[in-house]
Chains A and B, each alone.
Chain A
Amino acid sequence: MAMADFLVKAPSAGRGPIEYTHEDDALRIFGFWVFIATDMVLFASLFATYAVLYRHVGHGPGPLQIFDVTGFATETFILLTSSFTCGLSTYSMHRGQKGWMMAWMVVTILLGISFISFELSEFITDVAQGATLQTSAFLSAFFTLVGTHGAHVSLGIVWMTLILIQLAIRDLTPTTARKAFVVSLYWHFLDIVWIFIFTIVYLLGEMS
């Protein structure tokens, strides 16, 4: 769409990857990178809050009492793998292999769902032990930071599913390719955020 016929600065139109075919789509990809920058600062604020409050356990349990190494390690490896399969999906897209692309997306979604399930069961265990959002500042910060990431992943799952459907209906076009590429950026970004949750929340918790 956007009035982009005068966007002369787009180099080598038509020679780049499929998602950059139309300048308009290039514009959206660029916009999404900027969105990622805002989301990064959003997580920064949550990390800052966690860093300030994580020792404030009040009368509740501390990190050591509630973190379960196998649990969070499993979550981490699942999410890392999903980032890899998501990358493979983009890879297939660039080779025009729509079937593989969609297959890898399905794998990514399934991994995403299992990540969320593990996280939910972790939360449920915590709550069952009496470690809730209302218990202490540490737990408020913990559930909010990790939960915000989880909400992002859940949204990513829904989003990727929608794009999968559009791929099935509309085939691999520059527009659907752009959409798939953008959601892959989102997915990889969430993986980066998780790496820091893994380090600052869980590993640091194990060290305390």
Chain B
Amino acid sequence: MTHMAHSTPEELIDVVDGTRRVSSLPHLADCAACRAQLDELRATIGEVAAIDVPEPPPLYWRQLSARVHDAVERERFGAGRRIWFLGGASWDTVWPWAAAAVLVLAVLVTTRRGAERQPQRTPTSTVNLAQQDSAPSVGSVTESARVDAERAPDALNAGDSADESLIAFMQDLAESMDAEAAGVSLRPDGSVTDAAVAELSPEERAEMQRLLQDAMRGSGV
């Protein structure tokens, strides 16, 4: 019988696994080489299976969970950016509101600044919002807010610190939203954002502004 072909790796592994009976491979009974091969495979797999993962010191698990906790917190709050006021809600839930907050604040600041200093300036984000016939990309919404925010310091040479901090906050928020969109390929529905803005009453907008300002004061911005 030794003239027969040796057992294949697949056959031998099946025997080691117990999914094939030795009796189904008559060659094994006559071929010492294949039997030795089979014994070797069994011994080696037994040795590998006997290797356990070394148990780390008792405090290790607490350290690991604390470390993961910190990493998740950084993830949740955009590497320490000041968006902690959004609560524990996921970006999926919060995004339309965050976008609305940026836009509303952009409108408020731009309009106020425009009324006080440059009556001829068009509030860019308001125009942008009105032109959103189709769902905009994340970039277009946040970019318009950021462009507005980036322009703002030029008009603030007089040192209106409240506006400056508001604008800095808006920039952070806009950047956080951009980073998040890039990181998880978020594709929010633009109409949701529009609706979120449209549904805000003047009182709600004032409330949002107040909350954001409270948040900034609380975080030492």
Whether chains A and B associate is: no
